[in-house]
Amino acid sequence: MHFRRDSYVYVGVDLHKKAHVSVMVDSYGEQMGKATKFDNSPAAFPKWLEQVKKRAGERGVMFGLEDCHGLGRALAKFLLEQGEIVKFVNAYATKKERDSVNKSDALDALAVGRVTAQRNVTLPDADLDPLQFALISTVSFRKGLVEEVIRVKNRLHAMLLQAWPDYEGFFSEPFDSKTALAFWETYPSAYRLRGVTLEGLTTFLREQSHYAMGEKKAAVILAAYDGAEPSPFQYQQETLIRCAVQELRCLRQQLADVGEQLSRLVEQTDYRLTHIAGVEAVTAAELIALVGDVTRFKNVDKFLAYTGIAPVVQGTGESKTIYRSQYGRRELLSFFYRIACTQLVVHKKTGTPRNPEAKSYFDRLLGDQASLPSEKRDRKTQKKALLSLMRQQAKRFYKLMKQQKQEAVASRAGAVTEATEAPEAA
């Protein structure tokens, strides 16, 4: 069926926690009427939709939403249940349409509406896949836990500097090691070592570390005790240190539980990415949550543009300069930066790179500077080489995810065909 652009009006919606703002535009992107504000409540959606339909007249309506798995999920669900056409609009695609000087909810909704009108054929349909929603929610929850761990560590660091000025030399992982946390909880200040013998502290460390630490470490810690008397209100400070340790333990357990949930969710998707070096279940879950259905990108160039690492050529005459795109999803840009850095990690003892192929590619781009320490390399050359590696890794993930998705879809289609043909054969 031939699609006529002018037979529709397009509604862009700027989504918020309490209330949304919508703007209607025609096929040329010209605004139709004033912006409409309505509550983010299922009870307010029918009246708003009725107003939109009335204003559209005999023409069809196409809705554009930037967020279908967060603030806009309830609205998208309502519109789809009503049989409306709902498109997912990439927030970074609307950035060019926004007014660079003025900023308001109505202008944001207008930008979403214009992108919907201009790209309605290529924009993906809104997807309310519950598995994808569960992935996004769980990944977001884990991110919050990680941020909270950092805040607790910073608080504990500030308190330990007062209680143990030399504490950083005691343990290689003062906030992540079980032995270190047990020590801070038992000896929250140097004063608590009064009367503790070398033998007693050695026994404590051996029990906590399963004999990974012993008398040598105990001697280092005891040497930091200067026999000082407790300061005023020291008990309150020690209580705070113990509370921070308990909070860290609780957060670590929550992170472990959430990690197991993400592993189970990843197993239910169509993607198998954990066999790649440096990609664990949590990392794979983050990528799948950010990308969603990879087949919505027609080619690898579209995918690179979405990640924000697509090359942009600027030049005139014979001069030409290649820059990184300033548009794209920052979370994916950060993701592939971490992936690229992980591939370049070299084992301290064996000197073997985690991903020899990626390391060889990176060194080839560096040229003569590959043998130099990182701090002595030319920053621009190193930055360009790392960016090229990020693009290479992004292309690799795109091809792999697309192949796995297509295979999974074909497998399900084959299973359905067999199920329908079985009764006839019988």
Domains of the chain: 5-127 (3.30.420.10), 132-267 (1.10.287), 281-404 (no CATH)
| Short-list 266, 307, 277, 324, CA closest to 395 | 307
- pLDDT value of position 37: 95
- pLDDT value of position 348: 80
Q: How confident is the model at residue 352 (pLDDT cuts 50, 70, 90)?
A: confident
3-state secondary structure 181-197: HHHHHHCCCHHHHCCCC
User: What is the SS3 assignment for 418?
Assistant: helix
Q: What number of other Cβ atoms are within 10 A of residue 54's Cβ?
A: 8
- pLDDT value of position 423: 61
For 373-382, write each residue's pLDDT tens digit. 888 888 888 9
Residue partners of 73: CB distance under 8 A and separation at least 6: 67, 128, 133
Instruction: Please report the DSSP string for 219-264 in residue order.
Output: HHHHHT---PPPPTTHHHHHHHHHHHHHHHHHHHHHHHHHHHHHHH
Torsion sign across C-alpha atoms 230, 235, 240, 243: positive
Distance CA 94, CA 12 (A): 10
Q: What percent of the chain has pLDDT over 90?
A: 55
Residue 319 tokens, joined: 């001069």
- pLDDT value of position 402: 95
Check pLDDT > 80 for residue 420.
Answer: no
Q: What percent of the chain has pLDDT over 70?
A: 96
Helices then strands, counting H and E runs in the chain, come out as 13, 7
- pLDDT value of position 19: 94
Q: How confident is the model at residue 425 (pLDDT cuts 50, 70, 90)?
A: low
Residue partners of 178: CB distance under 8 A and separation at least 6: 208, 209
Q: In what helix (H) or strand (E) does residue 203 lie, and over which residues does it extend? A: helix 198-209
Residue 144 tokens, joined: 């919050």
Q: What number of other Cβ atoms are within 10 A of residue 1's Cβ?
A: 3
- pLDDT value of position 232: 78
Residue 10 tokens, joined: 């397009």
Q: Are 179 and 218 in contact (CB under 8 A)?
A: no
Of 56-60, 98-102, 257-261, which range is least confident? 98-102
For 169-223, write each residue's pLDDT tens digit. 899 999 999 999 999 999 998 888 888 899 999 999 999 999 999 999 999 999 8
Distance CA 100, CA 78 (A): 32
Check pLDDT > 90 for residue 403.
Answer: yes
Average pLDDT (106-129) is 88
Q: How confident is the model at residue 1 (pLDDT cuts 50, 70, 90)?
A: very low
Q: How confident is the model at residue 426 (pLDDT cuts 50, 70, 90)?
A: very low
Q: How confident is the model at residue 2 (pLDDT cuts 50, 70, 90)?
A: low
pLDDT: which is higher, 425 or 113: 113
Distance CA 294, CA 291 (A): 6
Q: How confident is the prediction for the chain on average, in pLDDT?
A: 88
Question: Could you give phi then psi for residue 405, rounded to 5 degrees?
Answer: -65, -45
Give the range with max mean pLDDT: 171-185, 269-283, 298-312.
Answer: 171-185
User: What is the SS3 assignment for 325?
Assistant: coil
Q: pTM value?
A: 0.82
Average pLDDT (233-253) is 93
- pLDDT value of position 99: 66
Q: Are 337 and 392 in contact (CB under 8 A)?
A: no
